[in-house]
Amino acid sequence: MKIENSDGEINKEMNLSPLISRGTGDDGQREEEEMYVPPLNFAMVDCGVFRSGFPGRANFGFLQSIGIRTIVYLCPEPYPEPNNEFLKANGIKLFQFAIEGCQEPFVNIPEETIREALKVVLDVRNHPLLIHCKRGKHRTGCLVGCLRRLQRWCLSSIFDEYQRFAAAKARVSDQRFIELFDISSLKHSPLPLPFSCSKR
């Protein structure tokens, strides 16, 4: 592709082929290296805990590369067959917590379901672990926000993190749920607490 500068002069040729590294195998044949593509809204929550939107086939190699052992899925819909096959092939456990994706003002986040999901997240035997819903915004944001409460984050930092992922779709009701969530039953949990929770 030819690129022109602001004066209309042609500067150079550019190859816009896909960004795939190529090497040669033992037999001298060129081979393509797999590109690792993280799922939408992917981020590390803490050591051994990640969050994202719904992973698709394009993300499977990436999830393998970080050694995911457990998936915490926060939607009521059945897990797709290609994803189930990927989990079985890689020995990944699936924990599904059916939380309906609701719009304000009719939002009903089941506190007991969040509590049960947190128990899975807090159990280091399940790490490395990926928490996800459809877009990695509201349901995932509520679960991570409640985890941050256990980690003794201040509310303003929790809400900043929630809003960073939810962006223009941030819900006051989600933030209210996080603020009012009762963490007392989890503070003295017999489960081994991971990362910064265990240092308190």
CATH number for the domain harbouring residue 97: 3.90.190.10
Whether residue 158 is contained in a domain is answered as yes
Is position 154 annotated as part of the catalytic site?
no
Q: 46-68: buried (b, 16+ CB within 10 Å) or exposed (e) per residue?
A: bebbbbbbbbeeebbebbeeeeb
For each of the chain's 200 residues, which pLDDT tens digit applies? 333 334 444 444 333 333 334 444 555 554 566 689 999 999 999 999 999 999 999 999 999 999 999 999 999 999 999 999 999 999 999 999 988 866 555 467 889 999 999 999 999 999 999 999 998 888 999 999 999 999 999 999 999 999 999 887 778 888 999 999 998 878 766 444 555 544 44
Pairing of strands 43-46, 22-24: unpaired
User: Is residue 26 in a domain?
Assistant: no
Residue 25 inside a domain? The answer is no
Bridge-based pairing of strands 10-13 and 2-4 is: antiparallel
> Cα(139)–Cα(132) distance, rounded to whole angstroms?
8
Say how far apart CA 165 and CA 69 lie, in whole Å: 24
pTM, to two decimals:
0.77
- How high is the pLDDT of residue 167? 81
Taking the C-alpha atoms of residue 61 and residue 49, their distance in angstroms, rounded to an integer, is: 18
Q: Indicate whether 196 belongs to any domain.
A: no
Helix 172-180 × helix 155-166 angle, to 10°: 150
The answer as to whether 15 is a domain residue is: no
CA distances from 47 to 17, 89, 128 (A): 36, 24, 8
Domain count, the chain: 1
Q: How far is CA 163 from CA 136, 151, 153, 166, in A?
A: 12, 18, 15, 5
Sign of CA dihedral 53, 114, 107, 182: negative
In a domain, 170, yes or no: yes
Q: From residue 46, how far is each of 57, 76, 77 by CA, in Å?
A: 25, 26, 27
- pLDDT for position 77: 94
pLDDT score, position 16: 30
Measuring CA to CA, which residue among 47, 46, 52, 56 is closest to residue 72? 52
Q: Which residues pair with 73 in a beta bridge?
A: 96, 132
Domain span including residue 73:
43-186
Which of 47, 75, 102, 133 is flagged as catalytic? Answer: 133
How high is the pLDDT of residue 169?
73
33: which residues sit within 8 A by CB, 6+ positions away?
20, 21, 22, 23
Q: Is residue 7 part of a domain?
A: no
Vertex 161: Cα angle to 158 and 165 (nearest 5): 140
